[in-house]
Chains A and B, each alone.
Chain A
Amino acid sequence: MEEALQNQKINILAPTNQLSANHSHSRRRRGEKAIEKILVLCAAIFILAIFLITLFIFAKGMPLIAKIGLGDFLFNTQWSPTKGMYGIGSMFIGSVLITLGALIWTVPLGLSTAILMAEIAPPRIGTILGNLINLLAGIPSVVYGFIGLIVIVPFIRENLGGNGMSLLAGAIILGIMILPTLINISRDSLLAVPREYKEGSLALGATHFQTISRVMVPAAKSGIITAVVLGMGRAIGETMAVVMVTGNAAIIPGSILEPVRTMTSNIVLEMGYASGDHQTALFATGMVLFVFIVILNLSINLFAKGGQGIGRN
């Protein structure tokens, strides 16, 4: 592989070789070599860092899981570290519920918006909307959390009951945060559908709506699924905004108006004062989160690939 690379380099350099003196040629080659080495070193450090972080999380988290057992850690819903009870069951469910809650309303809304921007609105307006939505994606999560705390939480408290800090508030805020990802990627994948598909469908007598729902969306399916997965990833990993609006009680909520704690919240809430087993339990929570996200991404990638295959048939 290295030889092939070098041959290529020599070919590129060949014309200049004839013009320049021999020593300048070798100097340049040495320079290139050095840069190449630096790049490889950078990549190696980066890979090493990721590897070490993963190793560190597992090394720090494993002792607790070994001590109380994976089943007890994952499925017990009693979280009371100062009393030696380490069950993250309620937070695992909390993370799943809040992510589903965010997806339930954002997927239809986001997809409709993407269709509007890609298919129905004039292209110029679609582009302007796209830029506006990109702006939304740049707002820091703490700002979303603050808006949630000042606007959404009191609104829920006064109109729907409860304290307002709830699963619902979290799902709304998270939804707003993942909308830009959902919309932009869905829109791009809709725009990438070959023009012939649309023209063919229209030529066969399908209405515009039939073309969108039967041809365009199925053809863009894998891109749309990617959008949902990326949104889901952000929703599960999001911490700051969620901590601010969900109330963080370590319970399985009985309704959408009750407080909820996610796995990420658990870590950020308690890391400041945790020591000993408590700290280990937080690392173990991080470990579960890590594995959970990896499994989720892998399985949905598989599903997306499968979907693509069916689409082609």
Chain B
Amino acid sequence: MKKNFGRIVLTGILVLALLVVTGCGKSNDAGEQGSDSGKLSGTITVAGSTSVQPFSEVLAEEFQAVNTGVTVNVQGGGSSQGVEAVISGAAQIGAASRDLKDEEKARANLVVTPIALDGVAVVVNPANKVSALTAEDIKNIYIGNIKNWQELGGEDAPITIISREEGSGTRDAFSEIVLNKEDIVKDAIIQNSTGAVKTGVAGDKNAIGYISMAKVDQAVKALRVDGVEANEANVKNGSYKVQRPFIYITNGEPQGLSKAFIEYVLSDEGQSIISEEGAFSIQ
């Protein structure tokens, strides 16, 4: 019985190992297919930032419509997972909504292709009387020096600070540009998605938050920062300071299908899709 059991466990391990090996093998092969022949075919996976995901999905759909033999899988997971996936080979293209960290650059020969720009809008409840703040005011709110809207010309009410979680690309961009990397107050409400921050701000008339400019709608009010309106023109000409890049990452120079897809994304057609979906084209 004992011997038998050992054999069975061994079989189990072999089966699992086989699954793992074939799983990896498949994704590795897939990236290299269909480069030289005139017609593109094969499968690539784009994984990473949930901010970039909706753009990648639409781009992939259009790319597949033009190249019928191609399948582009788009997965979320976050910027860091995108980098992980490219390094491990689970994805051919990683998507991130922040620049690479040094420790990530050190791990492999990663090549970065910026595909779009996104502004980060500082938003408040539409009922809030305040509609413009200086970057300094916003910083003072988030590091805890200003606690009441009255100090900023609003009603006498405590400010509810809503922030994103540590590691979020939006938070990184916001923290670097507005807060100069100073600590956000510890008792700030933390939400882990753009949607949740928006819901929080839309539901609480004393709340302040920051979200991707692409997601601003009537439910929240985007503040002017240092007198500059939060809009595309101001992001592109650099006068609106709170902005971040959307990037695609490949392990080495993009090859074959990955190269074709990235070229498509950077083409006029690809860039116009990006604008339609709410981010700003790179040109």
Task: Select A272's contact among B16, B192, B199, beta carbons within 8 Å.
Answer: B192
Q: A157-B204, A271-B78 are in contact. Are A80 and B101 (CB under 8 A)?
A: no
Is there contact, CB below 8 Å, between B77 and A272? Answer: yes
Is there contact, CB below 8 Å, between B203 and A154? Answer: yes
- Taking the closest CB of chain A, its distance from the CB of B220, in whole angstroms, is 16
- Taking the closest CB of chain A, its distance from the CB of B60, in whole angstroms, is 20
Alpha-carbon distance between A274 and B15 when the two chains are bound, in angstroms: 31
How many residue pairs, one in A and one in B, have C-beta atoms under 8 Å apart? 109
Number of interface residues of A (CB under 8 A): 42
Is there contact, CB below 8 Å, between B12 and A163? Answer: no
B276 at the interface (CB under 8 A from A): no
Which B156-185 residues have C-beta < 8 A from chain A?
160, 165-169, 172, 183
Is there contact, CB below 8 Å, between B81 and A272? Answer: yes
B88 at the interface (CB under 8 A from A): no
Stretch at the interface among A121-129, A207-215, A243-251: A243-251
Stretch at the interface among A93-101, A191-199, A275-283, A303-311: A275-283
B211 at the interface (CB under 8 A from A): no
Is there contact, CB below 8 Å, between A247 and B190? Answer: yes
- Taking the closest CB of chain B, its distance from the CB of A181, in whole angstroms, is 27
Specify which chain B residues have a CB less than 8 angstroms from the CB of A164 in the assembled complex. Answer: 204
* Interface residues as binary, A1-26 with B (CB distance below 8 Å gives 1, 0 otherwise): 11000000000000000000000000
- Taking the closest CB of chain A, its distance from the CB of B91, in whole angstroms, is 15
Is there contact, CB below 8 Å, between A273 and B78? Answer: yes
Is there contact, CB below 8 Å, between B190 and A248? Answer: yes
A159 at the interface (CB under 8 A from B): no
Is there contact, CB below 8 Å, between B192 and A269? Answer: yes
A261 at the interface (CB under 8 A from B): yes
Choose among B13, B186, B190 the residue with the greatest number of A CB atoms under 10 Å from its CB. Answer: B190
Which A8-49 residues have C-beta < 8 A from chain B?
37, 40-41, 44-45, 48
Alpha-carbon distance between A42 and B130 when the two chains are bound, in angstroms: 63
Is there contact, CB below 8 Å, between B79 and A273? Answer: yes
Nearest to B199 among chain A residues (CB) is A149
Nearest to B185 among chain A residues (CB) is A249
Is there contact, CB below 8 Å, between A272 and B166? Answer: no
Alpha-carbon distance between A83 and B4 when the two chains are bound, in angstroms: 52
Is there contact, CB below 8 Å, between A276 and B78? Answer: no
Q: A41-B8, A48-B13, A248-B190 are in contact. Are A270 and B81 (CB under 8 A)?
A: no
B217 at the interface (CB under 8 A from A): no
Is there contact, CB below 8 Å, between B192 and A243? Answer: yes
Sample (20) of A-B pairs whose CB atoms are under 8 Å apart: A37-B8, A40-B8, A44-B8, A44-B9, A44-B12, A48-B9, A48-B13, A48-B16, A79-B166, A82-B166, A243-B192, A248-B191, A259-B187, A259-B190, A272-B77, A272-B79, A272-B80, A274-B78, A275-B167, A278-B167
Q: Which residues of A line the B interface, CB within 8 A? A: 1-2, 37, 40-41, 44-45, 48, 52, 79-83, 149, 153-154, 157, 163-165, 243-244, 247-251, 258-259, 261, 268-276, 278-279
11 more CB-based (< 8 A) A-B contacts, given A249-B187, A250-B190, A273-B168: A37-B8, A52-B16, A163-B160, A163-B189, A248-B165, A248-B191, A261-B190, A269-B190, A272-B77, A275-B167, A278-B80
